[in-house]
Structure 1
Amino acid sequence: MSCPTPRSRVLHADWFDWRSSATRDFVALFGAVVLASILLHVYEVGPLLFQLGRSYADSALDDIMFTIFVALFLCVALTIFSVRRYRDLARETKARAILEGETRDLARHDPMTGLPNRRLFDENLTACLGLARDTHQVAVLLLGLDGFKRIKDTHGHAAEDKALCEFANRVANILRKDGILARIGGDEFGIVLPDISSLEVPTNLARRIVASATDTFAVETGAAELGVGIGIAIAPIDGDNLQELVRRAERALYRAQRDGRSCVRFFEPEMDIHVERRIQIERELRSAITADIIEPHYQPLVSLQSNCIIGFEALARWENRTLGRIPPDVFIPIAEETGLISALGDQLFRRACSDAIAWPETFTLAFNISPIQLRDPALGQRILSILGQTGFSPRRLEIEITESAFVERTGVAKTVIDVLRQAGVRIALDDFGTGYATLSQLLSFRLDKIKIDRSFVSQLDDSTESRVIVHAILGLAKGLGLTTTAEGVEDACQLGFLVANGCTEGQGYLFSDAVPTAGIRALLNRESGSTTVAEDGTPILHA
């Protein structure tokens, strides 16, 4: 879709403008009078005319003819001037009207795609809602693109704009004639379907939109992929005014995006309850960060060769007086979405470093860094500053990053990691095998450890595919000289497979759940005398 180019015009509202024909006529008339005066003065025609006038003074007819001639001359001149001036004013008025129309049009359209913007979308939706009845329903579809920011980070702004316009074209070609498509945000689109006969109409449209987005988008630097989440609300069932209907379509879109890539969800009443709870969690989270009451708990990292604890991973835990225990997979994403993750991360890291000073000097501290935090170029220096303030050695620190960090501002993330590595900090790749990382990225980021995702470890007992994948990961890590940690180890059979295939470390409920700082001493005291032996002779440390 090409970007519309507004026509520019220069209006000459001031009739003294030299470019105006009326001005030129006026100047010409004035110049003729001045020239005639000069000629009369230079050639002394004035006295001659005066003498001729006296000789015919007695002739009333000549006086009348002279007066008529002057009057006619002035009338013709003024008529010509007025007609030319009227034509100029007419052209200027028409041009002004066109320009004002274009200005109003631009104020209601997106300059990138040429589609209606949020303002015109709201106007059209309000008009459609005015006609909505029980038998005359209106559907609102909100579309949110998945992977849009990834295109910008990977291919640049030009590719992002091209993919956006191409997506808008695809949807416009699918949409029925009375449907209204608008771009209402950076990567969000809105559709109004007036007078739908059944819920199958928006459902079928949503499915076709999702299918159209599965085809790759050609950009100059290669091919880009997009997904699209769609939330749908129906008037008057889900609301009979603009604000209520759009709000509920947004909540359906939020659920669609949380449920996975390219999902379609209709609004359901329980979504309101879910969103209200999220708003409450966000409010309580801000207060908790201000009061510094979210604390780290520590899950042991166990050497599978010596069956000894060699360190701990810090995991955030939050107990709220009103909401109770809130899992980290609930409040961490909210912290990321609301921009609170940096403050929360710094607080937890500072407390973890202070706690870890009391551990044996050989123990390591593993700490997770969010991909959102890795967008901050100053993160590396801030981590080193906290290490210096708490006195914790960088060589005992292990920073864990997820594979998604590879595709979000890779240059910034690599710079942060390089700063930390130069100080002696080890870097571990968390949740390996979930689909983002490539071998070239593993090499370019200079990792020290790979953590095998718990989704593979949990299926080792009954899934041949999981065993093949884990075996391949362990072989790859060994070939690259990387340490490996298996997450989510819960039984002796899983442990036996990991040991037999050369896994370096283990972590999971089989060894211990995460414990607060006060529970670490009891865990270490229990370590030496509470082991049993698995079928293959491997000692097992119990919680």
Structure 2
Amino acid sequence: MSLSNPRSRVLRADWFDWRSSATRDFIALFGGVVLASILAHVYELGPRLFQLGRGYADSALDAIVFMMFVAFFLSVALTIFSVRRYRDLARETKARTIAEAEARDLARHDPLTGLPNRRLFDEKLDACLGLAGDTHQVAVLMLGLRGFKRIKDAHGHAAGDKALCEFANRLADVLRTDGVLARIGGDEFGIVMPDITSLEDPTNLARRIVASAGGTFAIETGSAELGVGIGIAIAPIDGVNLNELVRGAERALYRAQGDGRSCVRFFEPEMDMHVERRIEIERELRSAITADIIEPHYQPFVSLKSNCIIGFEALARWENRTFGHIPPDLFIPIAEETGLINALGNQLLRRACFDANTWPEMFTLAFNISPIQLRDPALGQRILSILGQTGFSPSRLEIEITESAFVEKTGVAKTVMDELRQAGVRIALDDFGTGYATLSQLLSFRLDKIKIDRSFVSHLDDSTDSQVIVRAILGIANGFGLTATAEGVEDAGQLAYLVANGCAEGQGSLFSDAVPAAGIPALLSREPGRTAVEEMRQDVKS
């Protein structure tokens, strides 16, 4: 059974609603006609009574007077009707005009912060660019918050919204009166400075913005910190139209966000080349994942006690026909930003498990997990599913996570890690000492291993501070009952210090660089007495 049109029901309800203007006008018109008819009948009855009393009447004159009387009252009724309709139409037109103005205003403003949105920002910028010239320059600043997603993930959307509003208020406080501030979308803001005299104007504003964002932001559950990246483009130097100028500022912002927590960068022409290359790499990366051509190479772990290889770490390697060798620190962040990291991680782990099945069973496989992957509650099940598909034992797998996992939705990461540990998978903390890990977090995550970052190991020969830090990390590992692995071991002096201070495992070019799966048999065929550890011990004895 079909339902009637809701709009027709509303119209019918309005017609019979005595409060509606149409109903009131109809009543007024109908009442006027009825009144005219009654008076007409009264007038017609009067002469008849008069004729009976007086004995005469002029019927023709009565008819003329009657018609004039009816016409008079009809004209009065129609006049009233017309006046009321005019007043109602005037009120409706005014209300419609106000509603349209409010709609236009809402369509050009952000509902959360009340700031202009991207649409109004573009309109204002376009108007300012129409006046730009050699003596009239316009600056565009694009701002991106750092740490906003962490606040939203850890404390919820309400806390994120509150931080955004507070940041917007701080921006408004430092912006000069002729500037235009807009929320472009998400955690990105835009500023137009319509008339600058030199580059010092946007530079000084950017410094004030960085300073204003440097303090803590109050949220329901306490306080949080944010950083801000700022990209700046100048018209007509960096562009003469809206698209060119905004693109330049956004590319400068992209560079600023990659350089540190709170950085300011002006647009430079080579940034276009950098961004275009990144876009091409992203396109190639998608094709590479589809074709499954990114492969794992393997770098050995060496026991510093037994002088033997005890396992391998899988490291992604990509040879591209256009760009040649693309390092992981370039394409892994792109995979994380574009949402490709899960597909890439699954492919690499599956291939690594198949390769590791050909090794002696005492060898372990270490595999890196991105903090982005750890946000997915289904990650543990996917890893265990791959182990089941490949027949690789969970007890031989070692998952490496970074310290940033402790502040990236910790509850989800901990649940995933606990699920894997219950299945027998070991958990290692990579690059220890460079992030945010606390001793309590080391306990709560129930780790099996910590890896000393190569930045400390590489300076063991010439830095007392690095020696103290490495010795302290080894003490923490022993205190918590964790295995310690030193990354980036490159010479005998570093190795000697690590052995003397009780480091359990080493990894680095001194032992071997990463090799493809086909190169592992040759690596394992080395004479046990010729390992780097044994050679170092012989040198010490001699």
TM-score (norm 2): 0.90
Matched residues in 2 for 1:525 and 1:69: separation? 124
Matched residues in 2 for 1:305 and 1:513: separation? 20
What secondary structure does 1:526 align onto?
A: coil
Structure 2 residue aligned with 1:155: 155
Give matches, 1:157-236, under 5 Å. 157-236=157-236
- Residues 15, 193 of structure 1: alpha-carbon distance in 2 compared, 3 angstrom cutoff: farther
Give matches, 1:334-353, under 5 Å. 334-353=334-353
Q: Is the 8 A contact 1:353 1:392 kept in 2?
A: yes
Structure 2 residue aligned with 1:95: 95
Structure 2 residue aligned with 1:109: 109
Q: Is the 8 A contact 1:231 1:267 kept in 2?
A: yes
Structure 2 residue aligned with 1:296: 296
Compute the displacement of 1:141 (Å): 0.7
Structure 2 residue aligned with 1:134: 134
Matched residues in 1 for 2:393 and 2:110: separation? 53
Which stretches in structure 1 are left out of the alignment for 5+ residues?
1-9
Matched residues in 1 for 2:119 and 2:11: separation? 28
What secondary structure does 2:513 align onto?
A: coil
Paired letter, 1:177:
T
- Greater helix fraction, Structure 1 or Structure 2: 2
- Residues 248, 214 of structure 1: alpha-carbon distance in 2 compared, 3 angstrom cutoff: same
Compute the displacement of 1:484 (Å): 1.3
Structure 2 residue aligned with 1:6: none
Matched residues in 2 for 1:91 and 1:188: separation? 41
Structure 1 residue aligned with 2:422: 422
Matched residues in 2 for 1:533 and 1:394: separation? 29
Compute the displacement of 1:473 (Å): 2.0
Structure 1 residue aligned with 2:49: 52
Q: Is the 8 A contact 1:531 1:539 kept in 2?
A: no
What secondary structure does 1:470 align onto?
A: helix
What secondary structure does 2:370 align onto?
A: coil
- Residues 533, 277 of structure 1: alpha-carbon distance in 2 compared, 3 angstrom cutoff: closer
Q: Is the 8 A contact 1:395 1:426 kept in 2?
A: yes
Give matches, 1:441-452, under 5 Å. 441-452=441-452
Paired letter, 1:195:
D
Q: Is the 8 A contact 1:231 1:254 kept in 2?
A: yes
Compute the displacement of 1:17 (Å): 5.4
Paired letter, 1:463:
S
Name the % identity.
Answer: 83
Compute the displacement of 1:251 (Å): 0.9
What secondary structure does 2:525 align onto?
A: helix
Structure 1 residue aligned with 2:265: 265
Matched residues in 2 for 1:191 and 1:499: separation? 56
- Residues 327, 53 of structure 1: alpha-carbon distance in 2 compared, 3 angstrom cutoff: farther
Q: Is the 8 A contact 2:510 2:532 kept in 1?
A: no
Paired letter, 2:223:
A
**Aligned pairs, how many?**
528
Q: Which moved more, 1:205-214 or 1:493-502?
A: 493-502
Compute the displacement of 1:466 (Å): 2.4
> 1:390-417 deviations in whole A, cap 9, x for unaligned?
2111100000111112222222222222
Compute the displacement of 1:86 (Å): 1.9
What secondary structure does 2:190 align onto?
A: strand
Compute the displacement of 1:147 (Å): 0.5
Structure 2 residue aligned with 1:4: none
What secondary structure does 1:490 align onto?
A: coil
Paired letter, 1:487:
E
What secondary structure does 1:182 align onto?
A: strand
Paired letter, 1:226:
L
Paired letter, 1:426:
R
Q: Which moved more, 1:405-414 or 1:508-517?
A: 405-414
Q: Is the 8 A contact 1:474 1:502 kept in 2?
A: yes
Give matches, 1:114-513, under 5 Å. 114-513=114-513
Structure 2 residue aligned with 1:78: 78
- Residues 347, 157 of structure 1: alpha-carbon distance in 2 compared, 3 angstrom cutoff: same
Compute the displacement of 1:24 (Å): 2.2
Compute the displacement of 1:193 (Å): 0.9
Compute the displacement of 1:34 (Å): 5.3
Matched residues in 1 for 2:471 and 2:11: separation? 76
- Residues 58, 538 of structure 1: alpha-carbon distance in 2 compared, 3 angstrom cutoff: farther
> 1:124-180 deviations in whole A, cap 9, x for unaligned?
111111111122111111001100100001111111000001101111111111111
Compute the displacement of 1:223 (Å): 0.2
What secondary structure does 2:204 align onto?
A: helix
Structure 2 residue aligned with 1:3: none
Compute the displacement of 1:39 (Å): 12
RMSD: 2.8
Matched residues in 2 for 1:39 and 1:259: separation? 92
- Residues 533, 46 of structure 1: alpha-carbon distance in 2 compared, 3 angstrom cutoff: closer
> 1:259-302 deviations in whole A, cap 9, x for unaligned?
11111000111111111211221122222222222111111111
Matched residues in 2 for 1:381 and 1:481: separation? 28
- Residues 201, 268 of structure 1: alpha-carbon distance in 2 compared, 3 angstrom cutoff: same
Matched residues in 1 for 2:284 and 2:437: separation? 35
> 1:407-433 deviations in whole A, cap 9, x for unaligned?
222222222222211110001111112
Compute the displacement of 1:48 (Å): 5.2
Q: Is the 8 A contact 2:451 2:485 kept in 1?
A: yes
Structure 1 residue aligned with 2:26: 26
Matched residues in 1 for 2:12 and 2:480: separation? 74
- Residues 527, 166 of structure 1: alpha-carbon distance in 2 compared, 3 angstrom cutoff: farther
Structure 1 residue aligned with 2:5: none
What secondary structure does 2:172 align onto?
A: helix
Matched residues in 1 for 2:164 and 2:467: separation? 41
Matched residues in 2 for 1:500 and 1:236: separation? 63
Matched residues in 2 for 1:137 and 1:106: separation? 30
TM-score (norm 1): 0.90
Matched residues in 1 for 2:84 and 2:22: separation? 5
What secondary structure does 1:358 align onto?
A: coil
Matched residues in 1 for 2:29 and 2:95: separation? 28
Paired letter, 1:480:
F
